[in-house]
Amino acid sequence: MNNNYLFDMDDHMSEHPSAISKKAKGHVWTEKKAQFIARYLRAFTYVTKHGTYIDAFAGPQEEKVYDNWAAKLVLENEPKWLRRFYLFEQSEQQIELIEELAAEHHEEGALKKNRKVEVFQGDMNEELPKFLGENPISEKQATFCLFDQRTKECDWETVAQVARHKISGNKIELFYFLAQGWVDRILTDKLGEGNLEKVARWLGADDWECFKKLDSDGRAKYFVSKFLNELGYAYSKAYPIFEHGAEGRIMFWMIHASDHERAPALMDAAYSGIGLALPEETGVIQLDLL
């Protein structure tokens, strides 16, 4: 047994989550993302024995490809110790799919063991802060929030509000997606005023030209630094998802932020478990607070 864990990681991380098909269709990078999320949250529940899951962009990333749908995999994970699921989505087309998924897993009743799955339609930059304001999450409730944006839909202020939601104890754990494969396309020299405002909200700053000049690793470190220095997380680390499994260009950076001392090791184990070399081996440095 690895002494970094309270349980044998081989027992709980070596197999794929039940809903992941070896014959899953769609892009390889989408499949790897979904596997990574599901594997980590499986370990997360073994540690916490309870929990709340928030998905800010809950619809499937690829049309008619549901084997790689993160929200679906998380809901189908075993053991079913996560009890509260809050799923946000703006697309009317996808909201129907999410509501069908929620209906399959929602359990009526007031028992603590019952699973509660709620769906919210609208711009999550408005709906998520509103929800948290009206439904505060307790300080002791282990909570994980996924920001699986496609490019620049997530305002940094929204991330900050989620991070600052709890008054004391560990902050809500975050998993944030940086669409490296599409960043240059959205940061063109022909950005109009409206798009410039949107990019500024996304970055939480007006330095988009400086951000554009950074290489892929630099962009990942930019956000890692924001999680550590602006939001005050104890740990943050960026994990690359490649175009062809373990090869090709980086399509996404999956950036993890947590206050829990065991979270980094669990995330490393989940990443290794999908067959990828840990970020330290690819030249990405973890920037922990001193």
Q: Is the pLDDT of residue 9 over 70?
A: no
- CB of 39 closer than 8 Å to CB of 17: yes
What's the pLDDT score for residue 82? 94
Closest to 272 (Cα-Cα) out of 26, 54, 4, 80: 4
pLDDT in tens, 259-279: 999 999 999 999 999 888 887
Alpha-carbon distances of 109 from 77, 113, 115, 162, rounded to whole Å: 21, 9, 9, 28
Identity at 164, one-letter amino acid code:
R
CB atoms within 10 A of CB 154: 21
Ranges of H-type helices in 116-259: 124-134, 156-163, 180-186, 193-203, 208-213, 216-225
pLDDT band at 284 (very low <50, low <70, confident <90, very high): very low
CB atoms < 10 A from the CB of 176, how many? 24
pLDDT digits (tens, 9 = 90+) for 70-119: 999 999 998 899 999 999 999 999 999 999 999 999 998 766 678 999 99
3-state secondary structure of 85: strand
With residue 242 as reference, give the H or E element that holds it: strand 235-244
Residue 171 has pLDDT above 50, yes or no: yes
Q: Please tell me the predicted confidence (pLDDT) of residue 61.
A: 75
Residue 283 pLDDT greater than 70, yes or no: no
pTM: 0.86
pLDDT at 22: 43
- Own/partner long-range contacts of 18-25 (Cβ < 8 Å, ≥24 apart): 18/76, 18/77, 18/78, 19/67, 19/72, 19/73, 19/76, 19/77, 20/67, 20/68, 20/73, 21/67, 24/65, 24/67, 24/68, 25/65, 25/67
Give me the chain's average pLDDT, please. 85
Composition of the chain by helix, strand, coil, percent to 5: 40, 15, 40
Tens digits of residue pLDDT in 16-64 = 443 334 444 445 567 888 889 999 999 999 999 999 999 999 999 766 6
Task: Provide the strand spans (E) within 17-163.
Answer: 52-55, 84-89, 116-121, 143-147
Domains of the chain by residue range:
9-185+211-282
Q: Which residue has the higher pLDDT, 287 or 162?
A: 162
Residues 6+ away with beta carbon under 8 Å from 208: 187, 191, 196, 199, 200
Give residue-wise pLDDT tens across range 117-127.
999 999 999 99
12 neighbors 42 (Cβ within 8 angstroms): yes
Residue 213 has pLDDT above 90, yes or no: yes
Q: Check residue 247 and give its pLDDT.
A: 82
For residues 238-243, give the mean pLDDT.
93
Q: Which top CATH class is 9-185+211-282?
A: alpha beta
**Taking 50 as the threshold, does the pLDDT of residue 190 lie above it?**
yes
How far is it, in rounded angstroms, from Cα 98 to Cα 66?
Answer: 11
Greater model confidence, 84 or 65: 84
Q: Are the C-beta atoms of 12 and 272 separated by less than 8 Å? A: no
Q: Which of 10-19, 139-148, 158-167 has the lowest mean pLDDT?
A: 10-19
Residue 257's pLDDT band, with cuts at 50, 70 and 90, is very high
pLDDT over 70 percentage in the chain: 83
